[in-house]
Amino acid sequence: MVQNIKPQYRQIWQTVQAIPAGKVASYGQIADLAGLPKRARLVGKALGCVPKNGWQGQAVPWYRVINSQGKISLPQGSDGSLLQKQLLQDEQVVVIGCRVKLKDYQWQPSIDELLFKLQF
DNA sequence: GCCCTGACTCTCA
DNA sequence: CTGAGAGCCAGGG
């Protein structure tokens, strides 16, 4: 049972929820924004532990998180990767193979959003 | 407490 | 841009 929700996971999920639809972010970016520099891998783990129902009544758009190369890190052919591709495309994000055009779709946090994060 | 693994990232060729 | 290698941190056995 995973009842002890780790604060870091919570923070990561919260940050992921801040990603606007139609945009994507890298693990490192999320880790950094969540106040966990160099914990990109932990972000992946956190996403793997995301409750299926979401967090605090909101869905956690884990599929908007990809690696710094703009690729889906999940094994190709796995349910997760296929689902991620589909969900991204539903958000009008072009996905070629397992690749996304970071140049066009990478999320660039605005000042407001950064200030919002600083409140915590 | 050591060792291995991992939804990562950076650097170099 | 792509691929290979080394680095890094946290979790689980």
Say how far apart CA A116 and CA A120 lie, in whole Å: 8
Q: Report if CB A35 to strand B is under 7 Å.
A: no
Residue A1 has what pLDDT? Answer: 47
Strand B nucleotides with an atom less than 7 Å from a protein beta carbon = 6-10
Tell me what the pLDDT averaged over chain A comes to.
89
pTM summary value: 0.91
Q: Is residue A61 assigned to a domain?
A: yes
Instruction: Give the CATH number of the domain where residue A93 resides.
Output: 1.10.10.10
Task: For residue A83, give the amino acid letter.
Answer: L
* The pLDDT of residue A2 is above 60: no
Interatomic CA–C1' length for residue A48 and nucleotide B6, angstroms: 12
Interatomic CA–C1' length for residue A24 and nucleotide B9, angstroms: 17
Say how far apart CA A115 and CA A120 lie, in whole Å: 9
How many domains is chain A partitioned into structurally?
A: 1
Question: Comparing C-alpha atoms, which of A102, A66, A73 is closest to residue A94?
Answer: A102
